[in-house]
Structure 1
Amino acid sequence: MTGVPAEATTPGPAVDRKMLEALVCPVTQGRLQYDAAGQELISSTARLAFPIRNGIPIMLAAEARELD
Structure 2
Amino acid sequence: MNRKFNKPIADNRSIDIDDEYAVELWMKELNVSHARLKAAVRIAGTGVLDVKRQLTKPKT
Is the pair's TM-score, using the shorter chain for normalization, greater than 0.5?
no
Higher strand share: 1
Q: TM-score range by the shorter chain?
A: 0.3 to 0.5
Query: Normalised by the size of structure 2, how large is the TM-score?
Result: 0.36
Query: Normalised by the size of structure 1, how large is the TM-score?
Result: 0.33
Larger Rg, first or second structure (1 or 2):
2
